[in-house]
């Protein structure tokens, strides 16, 4: 069992050259700033909303994303993301990658495919964002929607730390299918049937059964009529739903009649959603407690065959709009491998389960 180190030592060392230390709230931190964590200043590579204006998910190059909920010791950077610090300030405590072959799994959750590394020690680190861009390339790499790093933190009870890096090198603060694939691998490797998965500071429950793998998704702000766009000549409203990451959802008559890539890309970069952007979902009611979904995913910058957090967002919005009742809903996708979304028994208003198949495609070794 690994004990968690305290986040703050008794005294704070001076900030690195190029910074001026001060205490600031999450809303004041910017990309390129330094935040003091676990005994060292960490440079913020990117950030995401944490579902509330008061919190931020901070993303670093060489450690897991972290949710900043209160004021911390920080310092602005004298370097830019386009001009890295020559004195090493951009990576203050680097863990140099070791030269050895890494085994990986190619795995997909209902068509959403990943390169999964799950046998790394806690002390092994790398610039996974850069690796994700290289490995996920469809023509020159292994090819995938994302790279998933899963580490066992504790085995009784079972706890894993999961990080997901999108194909464009950005960090996913929530990816339901990546969590489901990680839970499947933990069941295969360690025999766990129930476990906790921690992604970007949020703990998700996971249950593995014979036919499906289930994980929880936390539902944040739901805003009706967030923005409007013209689709096939018709003005269409998009509602927004935060399911661990940003989503907008449009209810349409026929999802197959929509150019999901063209419309999705326009809405994803809509000025009303700047600077974070969003995932874009098109949803059609296909019968009692059934939906059909297409998703343009931010970070992949393309339509994916399935999206777990998008399925949850679709069900939340469809429930708000009266298209489905507050019970299990089947969400059909482009892969033809439906996901099921249902409210959590103990927390039905803020937590949903999303479950479905996971397929292990092949294994390999990264040179």
Q: Is 85 a catalytic residue?
A: no
Beta bridge partners of 218: 351
What lies within 8 Å, CB to CB, of 347 at 6+ separation is: none
Q: Measured between alpha carbons, how far is 195 from 170 in angstroms, rounded to an integer?
A: 26
* Separation CA 32–CA 25 (nearest Å): 16
The bridge status of strand 234-242 relative to strand 246-251 is: antiparallel
d(CA 366, CA 137): 14
Catalytic residue among 85, 136, 181, 307: 307
φ/ψ (deg, to 5) at 64: -65, 150
Contact 236, 132 (CB under 8 A): no
Q: How many helices (H) and strands (E) does the chain have?
A: 4, 24
Instruction: Point out the catalytic residue in the list 85, 136, 175, 181.
Output: 175
- Would residue 307 show up in a list of annotated catalytic residues for this protein? yes
Q: State the Cα–Cα distance between residues 202 and 187, nearest whole angstrom.
A: 21
Which residues are part of the catalytic machinery? 175, 307
């Amino acid at each position: 069992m690994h004990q968690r180190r305290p986040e703050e030592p008794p005294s704070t060392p001076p900030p690195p050259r190029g910074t001026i230390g001060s205490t600031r709230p999450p809303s004041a931190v910017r990309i390129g700033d330094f935040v003091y964590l676990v005994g060292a200043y960490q440079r913020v590579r990117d950030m995401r909303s944490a579902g509330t204006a008061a919190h931020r998910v901070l993303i670093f190059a060489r450690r897991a994303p972290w949710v900043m909920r209160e004021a911390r010791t920080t310092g602005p950077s004298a370097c830019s993301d386009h001009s890295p610090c020559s004195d090493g300030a951009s990576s203050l405590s680097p863990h140099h990658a070791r030269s050895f072959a890494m085994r990986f799994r190619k795995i997909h959750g209902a068509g959403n495919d990943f390169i999964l590394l799950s046998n790394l020690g806690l002390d092994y680190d790398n610039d996974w964002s850069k690796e994700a861009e290289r490995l996920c390339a469809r023509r020159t790499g292994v090819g995938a929607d994302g790279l998933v790093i899963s580490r066992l933190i504790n085995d009784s009870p079972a706890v894993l730390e999961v990080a997901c890096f999108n194909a464009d090198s950005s960090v996913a603060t929530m990816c339901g299918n990546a969590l489901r694939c990680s839970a499947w691998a933990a069941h295969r490797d360690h025999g766990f049937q129930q476990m906790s998965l921690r992604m970007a500071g949020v703990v998700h429950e996971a249950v593995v059964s014979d036919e499906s793998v289930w994980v929880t998704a936390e539902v944040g702000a739901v805003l009706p009529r967030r923005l409007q766009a013209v689709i096939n000549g018709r003005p269409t409203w998009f509602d927004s739903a935060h399911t661990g990451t940003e989503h907008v959802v449009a209810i349409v008559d026929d999802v197959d009649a929509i150019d999901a890539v063209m419309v999705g890309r326009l809405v994803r970069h809509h000025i009303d959603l700047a600077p974070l952007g969003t995932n874009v979902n098109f949803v059609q009611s296909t019968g009692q407690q059934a939906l059909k979904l297409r998703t343009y995913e931010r970070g992949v910058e393309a339509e994916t065959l399935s999206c777990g957090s998008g399925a949850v967002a679709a069900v939340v919005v469809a429930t708000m709009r009266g298209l489905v009742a507050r019970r299990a809903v089947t969400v059909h996708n482009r892969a033809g491998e439906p996901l099921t979304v249902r409210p959590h028994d103990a927390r039905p208003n803020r937590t949903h389960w999303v479950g479905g198949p996971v397929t292990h495609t092949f294994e390999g070794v990264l040179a």
